[in-house]
Every structure is written in structure tokens, then in C-alpha cells.
């Protein structure tokens, strides 16, 4: 009888443990389902990376989780630029790929060589991002491809006169002013880094831009002055001038209708190096 009792006890314990494990697993799966769509899970193997956007997302995911990502850098070097141009057949896809790529390579290169940021102008100009065997600068990615061939030091008002063939093939067709609150160049006052998907990009851009601008904007109702991010000043033409910038602040409910008539000023920008600012 003691032997039978012992066996029944062990069996009961085993069944109870299995049920608890099953319930725990089910709870964890439900919680995982609540994660926003834009948070892409890391791929277990590079074979799961089916597209260039997958590659750009995985680069950021691994850098964020401090996993080895050198094999992904090698995959970037082997991209077929002609196929890349055909694959990124909409501005939404282009923005998802290039924003993730820009933000990822900033973290990768400055993470290994932070001293490069001491001469920011030289750093952004240097051709150091290998895409399909072509070395591209961060300036070209931002101002040539993402900002659709706009001159860097023109406040956003002048186009580049003679963009190269690669730039023309890969660039975004219609500029999106929100990218200034999406790109992270490594400075302390840059917006946080998120991983973007073409499926939710518009909604995510609005959310991140709105949050960033809300945190960066102060309103003095007595003096009737709005003080917002210096990024607006740097690229004023992309916003359609001060009027367009205030329209954006109004759209995001940061200022009200009356405050659209206030004077717009800009805060100081902290260029101190601050990596790993992940959202």
C-alpha cells in the first residue's frame, strides 16, 4: 500500500507541475501577443532574414540586446543594389530600411570608435557604411537618400544639383519632415531609436515625432513665445518654414489655435555623444 501511495503522490505532483507549466506558458504567450507590432523579435538564424527590411530590423534588435551582429554587417556588404532598388518600391519601404540602417550603423560604428564623434563634420562625411559593396556616408544616407537629394547646409530649401546614380536609384521620392525626429546621429538631444516596419511606419512616425516634440517644446503664454527643438531650425525648409512647423505642433496638439500666432524660437542642442538611447 505504501508503494501504491507513493506512486500516486508522484503522479499527482507530475500532473500538477505540467498544468502549472502549461498555464505559465499560455500566460507568457498572451503577454507576448500584446507587444506592439513594430517590436520585431530577434531572428534565431540569419536564414530567417528574408528581406532587406528584415536585415535592417535585425541589426537594430541585436545591437539593442547587445548580441553579436557582425554577420549582419557582412550581409549588408553583399546586398545586390539593383535588387534592393526594386525591393524598396515605395517610400514607406525605403524609409523603414534606411532609417533602421542609419540608426543601426551609427550605433555600430560609434560603439566601436566613439572618438570619431569628436569631429562630427568629418564623421558624417566619411564614406564608411558598406551597402552592396559601395561605401556610403551618413550624410548621403540622410540628405541624399532619406531627404530626397536636399543640400545639407541649405536649411532644407535647396536641392542637390548633381546627385549620383546610386542616390537617384535609392532615394525617397517625397520628403517626410518627421524623419528629423526619427533619425538618431548619436547626440544626446537626438530622438530615441526605435525599430521601424513598413507596415506601421506612418503611425509610428507620428507617435515618436509627437512625443519628441512634446518633450522639446515650451510655451510662454505671457511673452507669447514657443520654444521648440533646434532640429526645426536646422531643416526649416523641410517643414514649410515657421508656419509649417507651427502647423505640425498644432497637429500634434502641442500648441492650440491661438498659440499658432506666437513667435517661434529654438532651444540649444546638446551634441554630447550618448549612444544606446533606445525607445
Assess if residue 209 is contained within a domain. Answer: no
* Residue 110 domain boundaries: 50-186
Per-residue confidence of the chain (279 residues) as pLDDT tens digits?
433 344 334 343 333 444 444 444 444 444 334 334 344 455 555 567 889 999 999 999 999 999 999 999 999 999 999 999 999 999 999 999 999 999 999 999 999 999 999 999 999 999 999 999 999 999 999 999 999 999 999 999 999 999 999 999 999 999 999 999 999 999 999 999 999 999 999 999 999 999 999 999 999 999 999 999 999 999 999 999 999 999 999 999 999 999 999 999 999 999 999 999 999
Nearest to 183 by CA among 210, 156, 211, 205: 205
Assess if residue 44 is contained within a domain. Answer: no
* Strands, E assignment, 8-107: none
Q: Name the domain count of the chain.
A: 1
Assess if residue 100 is contained within a domain. Answer: yes
Contact 246, 214 (CB under 8 A): no
What is the torsion angle, in degrees rounded to the nearest 10, for the CA atoms of residue 266, residue 189, residue 201 and residue 92?
Answer: 80
Assess if residue 102 is contained within a domain. Answer: yes
**Hey, CA dihedral for 53, 59, 64, 68, is it positive or negative?**
positive
d(CA 88, CA 97): 8
Assess if residue 133 is contained within a domain. Answer: yes
Supply φ then ψ for residue 135, to 5 degrees: -85, 125
On whether the pTM is more than 0.75, the answer is yes
**Cell 521620392 found at:** 173
Assess if residue 206 is contained within a domain. Answer: no
- Name 163's Cβ contacts closer than 8 Å, sequence gap at least 6: 144, 149, 171
Which grid coordinates are listed for 176? Answer: 517626410
d(CA 204, CA 195): 10
Amino acid at each position: 500500500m505504501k508503494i501504491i501511495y507513493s506512486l500516486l503522490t508522484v503522479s499527482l505532483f507530475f500532473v500538477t507541475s505540467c498544468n502549472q507549466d502549461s498555464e505559465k506558458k499560455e500566460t507568457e504567450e498572451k503577454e507576448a501577443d500584446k507587444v506592439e507590432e513594430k517590436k520585431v523579435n530577434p531572428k534565431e538564424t540569419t536564414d530567417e532574414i528574408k528581406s532587406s527590411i528584415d536585415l535592417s530590423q535585425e541589426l537594430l534588435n541585436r545591437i539593442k540586446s547587445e548580441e553579436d551582429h557582425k554577420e549582419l554587417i557582412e550581409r549588408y556588404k553583399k546586398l545586390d543594389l539593383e535588387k534592393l532598388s526594386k525591393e524598396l518600391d515605395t517610400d514607406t519601404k525605403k524609409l523603414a530600411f534606411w532609417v533602421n540602417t542609419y540608426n543601426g550603423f551609427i550605433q555600430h560604428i560609434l560603439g566601436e570608435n566613439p572618438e570619431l564623434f569628436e569631429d562630427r563634420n568629418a564623421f558624417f562625411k566619411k564614406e564608411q557604411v558598406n551597402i552592396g559593396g559601395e561605401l556610403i556616408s551618413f550624410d548621403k544616407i540622410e540628405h541624399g537618400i532619406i531627404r530626397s537629394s536636399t543640400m545639407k547646409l541649405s536649411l532644407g530649401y535647396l536641392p542637390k544639383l548633381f546627385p549620383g546614380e546610386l542616390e537617384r536609384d535609392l532615394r525617397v521620392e517625397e520628403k517626410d519632415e518627421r524623419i528629423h525626429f526619427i533619425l538618431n546621429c548619436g547626440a544626446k538631444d537626438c530622438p530615441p531609436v526605435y525599430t521601424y516596419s513598413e507596415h506601421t511606419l506612418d503611425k509610428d512616425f507620428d507617435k515618436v515625432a509627437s512625443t519628441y516634440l512634446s518633450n522639446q517644446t515650451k510655451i510662454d503664454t505671457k511673452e507669447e513665445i514657443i520654444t521648440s527643438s533646434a532640429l526645426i531650425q536646422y531643416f526649416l525648409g523641410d517643414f514649410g518654414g515657421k508656419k509649417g512647423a507651427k502647423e505640425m505642433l498644432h497637429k500634434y496638439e502641442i500648441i492650440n489655435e491661438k498659440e499658432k500666432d506666437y513667435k517661434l524660437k529654438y532651444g540649444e542642442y546638446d551634441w554630447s555623444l550618448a549612444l544606446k538611447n533606445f525607445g
